[in-house]
Chains A and B, each alone.
Chain A
Amino acid sequence: MSIPADVIRLPARESRLAGIRRIRVGEYPVIPILILAVIAFLAVFANQLAPHDPEVGILSARFHPPFWQAGGSTEYLLGTDQLGRDVLSRLIFGARISMVVGFTAVIFAGFVGTVLGIVSGYLGGWVDQLVMRLTDTWLALPALTFAIFLAAIVGPSMWNIVIILGAVYWTRYARVIRGEVLSLKEREFVRLAIVAGCSKWTIMRRHILPNVVNTAIVLGTLMLGVVIVAEASLSFLGVGVPPPEPAWGLMLADGKEGLMVGYWWLTVFPGGCIMLMVLAANLLGDWLRVKLDPQLRQL
């Protein structure tokens, strides 16, 4: 009697792709992917797509309304701001900032959090105690306030914001990943690897890491929305991306000036863009969570 081939396949190798394979064509969440794809497209081709310079305006063309309102023109489709800059062009370039900050901060936080979570969970002992107490303490700090504090120290710039958001949000990964690792390290395949004489480092890299990647991806997608809102909030408060860069949060802060006299387009459009992107990230995250890791449904 022959043994079926898949019975003797190593579990660690299998699970690296098992989650991805379960996804079948026709079940994709079309709307969120479409929204993110459009924003990514705008971000990549901002130079070609934007009709005007996003940072230089014409003062004589201040506060033009969108083209369908009285006084608007097709020259400035979505109107102009207090310095006569084209809102549409700023939105398009703003997509670039949100995309870059959002993704790099999530990846940075995910990298730090996953590494610390694996090391802390697998090694245990005083390393675990140290990392977890630090995680608890940092989780106790209100995220936005902590980010503002860090931004006040290092000063505003786009890359500083990425580092700050990474430094604030890695704790969420570390917590969840550590929990996963604690149960993984009791599993047979890890014990077998220990018996086979693998070093701790090899086990963490070859056997534990592939099994927590799915979780990290799900967390990352869910964090994307949080990070984008955080970046917008920091920029809105003046400690995020510095002017005259066209960050959406900064546009909202600038738009406050015209809000009281009814220049609604300076508030509605940038905020709408933030909402769409966060909504898409959340929808995608929820879908991935169910698809990749049914155990995480309770998260």
Chain B
Amino acid sequence: MKRFIARRVGYALLSLFLLSLTIFFFVRVTGDPAALLVEPGASPGDIAAIHHQFGLDRPLLVQYWLFLVALFHGDLGQSFYYQVPVMGLYLSRLGNSLILASVAMLFSLAIGIPAGILASVQVGRFWDQFGKLFTLLGLSMPSFWIGLLMILLFSVYLGWLPSSGAGSGWQLCLPFTSICGSGEPTHIIMPAFALGWYFAAAHMRLTRSSMLEVLGSEYIKLARIKGLPQILVIAKHAFKNALIPVLTLAGINLVLMVNVAVVVETVFAWPGIGRLLYEGITFRDFPIVQGVVIMGGAMIVIVNLLIDIVYAVIDPRIRLGN
């Protein structure tokens, strides 16, 4: 067990190392990083000063070392536009992103799980076909287009829902941290639906295949032979076990949602991380762009590590198999 965890942690550290190397490499291979780190239109004197300040006139290895040291201190550089550290900005927006992603996740599970169960019970019949069509549409309609269409219908034509911003009705904080977010139900419905739409299709697909696997197992046959009614077999015996992979995927997807929401957040002007990234692009504020990418990759590596470890604790086959 200890060896398994040690190896997984080793892989995660290696991934983080390669991640930092990738970012470092790309910034330097495509030209002078000073051009990205100063505001557009800076004088040659300013650029030389930046070269010296960031150690860009030193050997590459030394530069990489300084880059790593800064990362370990949680230093992602200074935003040009906001004139504050990127890390602070990132954390101040993280709460809003988490709220949006959580509600989007609820939407996607509320649609995906029942639809998946229905399709698995009715394999090849109407609801299964309908579900297939639904997943195909879910995977084919870009989320930001859904968002724009919803704005057109619900904000412009019907006037029911606000089209931008988060409102300030709710105030939620992550326990033990200063990460807080705010939002209002009327503001959150449309962006959460647009973001959850794509994931609903993925959750439905997985629920269906997971249910089919469980329904074919011995203990379900036994439950049927015992004479249990169909509804009990599905709801009590099959559903619970089929849910495990779906919830695992949902955990990974929640982190993904925080990181892929950039287009949806831009459409709805939702003040989260995605919007921060968009501001980074439009204001040519490179430290923000770099910071968001690093944090996104690190977050996903760490969550994957945690899931691996939890799985190994729960299921001995995994840790012994490795």
**Interface residues of A, Cβ cutoff 8 Å to B:** 133-134, 136-138, 140-146, 148-150, 152-154, 225, 229, 232-233, 236-239, 252, 255-256, 259-262, 264, 267-268, 271, 274-275, 278-279, 282-283
Contact = CB atoms under 8 A, between A and B. Distances in A.
Where chain A touches its partner, the secondary structure class is helix
A148 B266 CA distance: 14
Which interface residue of A133, A143, A150, A153 has the most chain B CB atoms within 10 A?
A153
A243 to B, nearest CB: 14
A252 B152 contact: no
Given A137-B15, A233-B263, A260-B155, A145 B281 contact: no
Interface stretch (B22-30, B92-100, B118-126, B180-188): B22-30
> Which size bracket describes the interface of B in this complex?
35 or more
B205 to A, nearest CB: 11
Given A149-B26, A233-B262, 15 more contacts: A133-B18, A140-B15, A141-B22, A142-B256, A142-B296, A144-B260, A145-B292, A149-B289, A153-B36, A233-B142, A252-B148, A259-B152, A260-B155, A271-B142, A278-B140
Contact of A140 (B156, B281, B292, B300): B300
Contact of A225 (B15, B140, B280): B140
A154 B30 contact: yes
Given A148-B281, A153-B27, A141 B296 contact: yes
B142 A229 contact: yes
A133 B292 CA distance: 22
B301 interface: yes
Interface in B148-197: 148-149, 151-152, 155-157, 163
B30 A144 contact: no
B282 interface: yes
A2 to B, nearest CB: 46
A39 to B, nearest CB: 14
B45 to A, nearest CB: 24
A256 B155 CA distance: 13
B270 to A, nearest CB: 14
B149 A271 contact: yes
Contacts of A239: 281
B6 interface: no
5 contacts: A133-B11, A137-B15, A149-B289, A225-B140, A229-B142
B152 A137 contact: no
A255 to B, nearest CB: 8
B289 A148 contact: yes
B141 interface: yes
A279 B141 CA distance: 8
B139 A275 contact: no
A259 B145 contact: no
Contacts, number: 133
B266 A252 contact: no
Interface in B299-318: 300-301, 304
Given A133-B14, A141-B297, A259-B156, A232 B142 contact: yes
A271 B292 contact: no
A148 B156 CA distance: 30
A10 B63 CA distance: 55
Contacts of B151: 259-260
Interface in B2-34: 11, 14-15, 18-19, 22-23, 26-27, 30
Which interface residue of A149, A225, A256, A271 has the most chain B CB atoms within 10 A?
A149
Nearest to B301: A140
The 10 closest A-B pairs by CB, nearest first: A271-B145, A142-B259, A279-B140, A137-B18, A149-B293, A278-B140, A141-B297, A140-B300, A152-B289, A137-B15
Contacts of B286: 152
Contacts of A283: 136
B277 interface: yes
A292 B304 CA distance: 33
A216 to B, nearest CB: 20
Which interface residue of B14, B148, B290 has the most chain A CB atoms within 10 A?
B148
B90 interface: no
Contacts of A260: 151, 155-156, 163
B148 A238 contact: no
A219 to B, nearest CB: 15
Nearest to B286: A152
A279 B140 CA distance: 5
Contact of B141 (A149, A267, A275): A275
A137 B30 contact: no
Contacts of B163: 260
B293 A145 contact: yes
A297 to B, nearest CB: 10
B145 A275 contact: yes
A238 B141 contact: no
B144 interface: yes
B191 to A, nearest CB: 15
Given A137-B19, A282-B136, A267 B262 contact: no
Contacts of A225: 139-140
Contacts of B278: 237
A136 B15 contact: yes
Nearest to A286: B136
B19 A150 contact: no
